[in-house]
A and B are shown apart, each in its own frame.
Chain A
């Protein structure tokens, strides 16, 4: 059974079809990249998967059960987490607090009013482990609002990982970072390959072809091709619609 299945999703904003009969099956453990030119509807698609937007028609299944109409928090509890293209952290919280809160969301009730959460070692330990793995272990007590852009991107990933997802939706995790920092980031994602199913939206083609098991190409809300990176690279329709443009420019 596929981990995440999209059946014939459609969503229009007025006359604009942003998602046009999209069907897709993401297999357990794979990294499935979705590429496409700007405005192809990639972020809108992710928003429907994570629940910020509801499709006009079609169905989304996670491990075989229908989640099309679940709220974003309910989906997180089913194991579906997302990161944002534009960094979305809690700026007034420390790095550790940002991640500890994500751990808290999956460990016990948060309707506890008296115990000091800052002293809950299990939360802090789990948060530290994730932060060590994302190279933020030495920034624990810095306010998230004071981090550099690259650190923000890593914190964004750490928060999503801390919810302990089975499926991770990554919306341009490499946006705005490059060089060695980007390579290191790709390594961190690759290290989780196989344990975690990932849907990856990314403009950095080197990263996509280095990480993805399969790639789907989205153009004007439609998936025009799905296949292995090699198949996609040699697909004439894809070259015409997307990759060719990039080479030309």
Chain B
């Protein structure tokens, strides 16, 4: 938690953001507009991974049901649009309110347990949400439903342009990174990180850990819901696939791959995972196997993920 390390992570995040900002230029030079589409997907997952890192990396809460919040976000877009409400802000607000309520109730119950039981109970709640949406026949049930249009921004349909949508998503990611970074460095963040380090000690100096963990859990759920709103807009389609437990697992992968407890690592993890997925898919349909091997090697040789590798390289050079 020393100052230079934290500073390094902010620099890393800023470099990632600069890279993203230049991506449309690269796409234009390479004459490959699809890059911007993938880019927006990466950004949306980056938000979700960032949100999960806040509780997994800093609060030691391994939520295996975080895809539920992606689902709340995605279905907020589909359901509200059906009723003629198309504003992006309102979609996000609805997604956040529902997610906050769900996170508050399920978090309060889940936090009565620890370790593997916490993982299992969050998985169970996630699956409940999954099955709820598979039975929502008005919105396609299992198959999901297409969106007639993307959310509108201040009454205009500028988000239909992939380029505009990309930069709006980037702006949201940057804002949420800044928010998460401030939270981690705040009084609240120090208590939360302390709980990860040693919950008994935190109690013994006068903090009731669960209140802080629950608050972080709710914040994380709300941020993930925003990612869900953006993801639905990016795909112009919503389905329960957003909520499956595979998706929750992928979010954990991203955080671990990038280096848990670093924020910028979560974003790097989202980039790496989706780029690898797209790239490996070209070579082999068994890309998930290759991906599994990469992850095993990573956990074995760099438990702190990509962040750990970069930090080691930097130290070696200086």
Contact = CB atoms under 8 A, between A and B. Distances in A.
A201 B294 CA distance: 52
Interface string A136-148: 0000010100000
Contacts of A76: 204-206
Nearest to A104: B187
Interface SS majority for chain B = helix
A81 B204 contact: yes
A118 B187 CA distance: 8
B203 interface: yes
A98 to B, nearest CB: 8
Interface in A68-92: 71-74, 76-77, 81-82, 84, 88-92
A146 to B, nearest CB: 11
Interface size on A, as a range, is 35 or more
17 contacts: A76-B204, A82-B204, A84-B204, A89-B198, A90-B198, A92-B1, A101-B190, A105-B207, A110-B190, A110-B207, A111-B215, A112-B186, A113-B186, A113-B187, A115-B186, A116-B186, A163-B206
Interface residues of B, number: 27
B183 interface: yes
A90 B204 contact: no
Contacts of B200: 52, 84, 88
Contacts of B198: 88-91
A212 interface: no
A77 B205 CA distance: 9
A73 B194 contact: no
A131 to B, nearest CB: 15
B189 interface: yes
A88 B206 contact: no
Interface in B177-217: 182-183, 185-191, 193-194, 197-198, 200-208, 212, 215
Interface string A89-105: 11111100100111011
B201 A113 contact: no
B190 A117 contact: yes
B194 A112 contact: no
A113 B204 contact: no
B203 A73 contact: yes
